Amino acid sequence: MPDTIHLQTPLKDEDLLKLKTGDKIYISGTVYTARDAAHKRLVELLEQGKELPFDVVGSVIYYVGPAPAPPGKPIGSAGPTTSYRMDSYAPALMDAGLKGMIGKGPRDKSVIDSMVKNKAVYFAAIGGAAVVIADSIKEAKVIAYEDLGPEAIREMKVENFPCIVANDTNGNDIYKQGVAKYKQV
């Protein structure tokens, strides 16, 4: 039976090493948003030896391009985007200290290998639950690449952001485990 675990950012190795695929997670603290265009710029900064627009060490990046905030809300609908578009950039960010990624869909083997090497985790957010997810976001502000519109990097303060462990620090993959489990039936 999967555990239910509350995590606080910045994430620490000792917390991540205990996680298993399928664990239900509630994240509180600071989470950053970024999609492929922002990831490309972040990796270019790393390649140039320049500073990133936020401290990546122990950080979590949520792959999302949120809808505009309705009156009285910090953010609009905020459902996860498909993660494979960030696969070519994720290892460089993990090498720089990124510890968590949130999105939907499976990851490439090179990304999973980098998670094992860097003791990082990939969390799956539930597609179709964008309004529920948005309720866990208490503050959101653009901190970089405003020209990217919804894909700008945002710093969000979250309380009990719901997700599950899709890939743990041991390289386990819920997408492969799920298929194997149901092939036995």
Which amino acids are annotated catalytic? 39
State how far the Cα of 14 lies from the Cα of 44, in Å rounded to an integer: 30
Which ranges in 17-84 belong to alpha helices (H)?
36-47
Contact yes or no for 172/21 (Cβ under 8 A)? yes
Contact yes or no for 120/167 (Cβ under 8 A)? no
In a 3-state reduction of DSSP, which class is residue 10?
coil
